[in-house]
């Protein structure tokens, strides 16, 4: 038994140690960028911290990128004319979302972050499957499976009340402002 005590006396322990299990219940995941923006947004609203201009990145998405090929043209090119009416309505929904939240810098950043995510998911997971013979059902399935599901994971507390309609609206907003191509 003496040799065990000798071994323990000469051991170096770094951090917690015990004879059995150590249960550490104080480990929380690091907050995401969205979590931090949500906290800032709530503070801005509570304290009336408003701004008068759009942040640069949101202005970029809110403006037409280059030669205009409108939303209708792009959807027609891939034989998705059936989506045009809903797409135009949803695109307008995002313009109103931006307008409604333009006075809060953090809200602008949240919207921009989500627009970036929508563009990335569309280009990597949806666009490769878009062909001239795609059906509306197949396109809706791709949007639901990839875009809506992925973006919802990033919403956190969802203080701006962004749901599937708004997520789809972001897709058509970006398409109509020439930031996304369907073919």
pLDDT in tens, 70-79: 899 999 999 9
Structural domain tally of the chain?
1
- Would 12 be classed as within a structural domain? no
What is the dihedral angle through the alpha carbons of 121, 125, 127, 133, rounded to the nearest 10 degrees? -140
- Would 183 be classed as within a structural domain? no
- Would 103 be classed as within a structural domain? yes
pLDDT in tens, 100-155: 999 999 999 999 999 999 999 999 999 999 988 899 999 999 999 999 999 999 89
- Would 2 be classed as within a structural domain? no
User: Which pTM was predicted?
Assistant: 0.81
C-alpha distances (whole Å) from 68 to each of 78, 83, 87, 100, 123 are 17, 19, 17, 25, 19
134 three-state secondary structure: coil
C-alpha distances (whole Å) from 141 to each of 69, 74, 135, 137 are 25, 19, 10, 6
Closest CA to 167 of 55, 90, 109: 90
Contact 103, 97 (CB under 8 A): no
- Would 137 be classed as within a structural domain? yes
What domain range includes position 126? 33-176
Q: How many CB atoms lie within 10 A of CB 133?
A: 7
Considering the chain, what is the average pLDDT of its residues? 88
- Would 89 be classed as within a structural domain? yes
- Categorise residue 161: left if φ over 0, alpha if ψ from -120 to 50, beta otherwise: left
- Would 19 be classed as within a structural domain? no
- Would 83 be classed as within a structural domain? yes
Please give the structure tokens belonging to residue 82. Answer: 């059936």
Mean pLDDT throughout 23-38?
81
Eight-class DSSP state of 130? -
């Amino acid at each position: 038994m003496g040799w065990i005590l000798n071994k323990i006396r000469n051991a170096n322990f770094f951090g917690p140690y015990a004879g059995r299990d150590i249960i550490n219940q104080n480990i929380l995941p690091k907050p995401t960028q969205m979590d931090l923006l949500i906290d800032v947004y709530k503070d801005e609203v509570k304290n009336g911290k408003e701004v008068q201009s759009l942040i640069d990145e949101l202005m970029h998405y809110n403006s037409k990128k280059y030669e205009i090929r409108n939303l209708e043209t792009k959807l027609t090119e891939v034989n998705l004319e059936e989506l045009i009416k809903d797409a135009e309505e949803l695109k307008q929904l995002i313009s109103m979302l931006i307008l409604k939240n333009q006075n809060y810098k953090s809200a602008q950043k949240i919207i921009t972050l989500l627009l970036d995510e929508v563009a990335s998911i569309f280009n990597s997971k949806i666009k490769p499957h878009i062909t001239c013979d795609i059906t509306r059902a197949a396109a809706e399935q791709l949007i639901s499976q990839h875009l809506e599901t992925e973006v919802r994971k990033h919403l956190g507390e969802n203080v701006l009340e962004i749901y599937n309609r708004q997520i789809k609206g972001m897709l058509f907003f970006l398409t109509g402002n020439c930031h996304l191509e369907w073919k």
